[in-house]
Structure 1
Amino acid sequence: MVVGALSESAADRVFHALADATRRDILIRVIRSGQSVSELARQYPMSFAAVQKHVAVLERAQLVSKTRRGREQIVSGEVEALRRAGLLLDAYEDLWRHRADRISQILEEE
């Protein structure tokens, strides 16, 4: 495992959350600027409850956090989880590149 990367269960939650286009769009919106759940719900052709569920999945993956401002809950992006996911993907890329380099070496030896 890569130091500073995600645990297996955390990686599962992050990649599950990012597997859905609506959740990726919500994440982009709240990284740009925190928005209330109500503001987010107005931007999608689905119920408020459905948007709340998407936000909950993102929150469980620690990709977003919510803070209370009066009666509203403001959703903000948490880029640290994305950074850790990126480290994990970088480690997989390094493994792949090492394997490809090793295959090239073997072919050159023959």
Structure 2
Amino acid sequence: MVDLSQNPLDLIFHALGDETRRRMLAALVDGERSVGELAEPFTMSLAAASKHIKVLEAAGLIKREVKGRTHLCRLDPGPLGSAHQWLSAYEHFWTGRLDVLERLLRAEDAAFPRNRQDGE
């Protein structure tokens, strides 16, 4: 069980760590959906779908509104921005590593040119 007193990023990444929840979020990009509509593509009960939705709600990734007997869910992209900001800190690291790799490969290509006439 997820401890709801955790860091918000922990809740976001926990929610995003499940393929079903990621697919539910993807469905909400096009607009709000009922719990039944979110559950429909999956072979699961409404109760199981509701558990996934509660995890997404706890992470702040979706908002649920009750209209009569219908529960409508909509995407709240704000927390995704927080996750993106956290991940972007590593972009510099990976860009630097890839730049080093590119330099090494170019140096190797320069040191050992292929004989293009042999088709190698």
TM-score, structure 2 as length reference: 0.70
The residue that corresponds to 2:81 in the other structure is 83
The residue that corresponds to 1:9 in the other structure is 7
Secondary structure, aligned partner of 1:23: helix
Q: Which aligned runs of 4 or more in structure 1 are off by greater than 3 angstroms?
A: 97-100
Alignment partner for residue 69 of structure 1, among 67, 70, 90?
A: 67
Distance apart, 1:92 and its partner CA: 2.5
CA distance in 1, matches of 2:44, 2:36: 12
The residue that corresponds to 2:114 in the other structure is none
The residue that corresponds to 1:23 in the other structure is 21
Alignment partner for residue 54 of structure 1, among 52, 55, 59?
A: 52
The CA RMSD measured in Å over matched residues stands at 2.2
* Structure 2 portions without partners, runs of 5+: 1-5, 101-120
Higher CA-based Rg: 2
Distance apart, 1:93 and its partner CA: 2.2
Percent identity reads: 37
More helix by share: 1
Secondary structure, aligned partner of 2:41: coil
Determine if contact 1:10/1:61 at 8 Å carries over to the other structure: yes
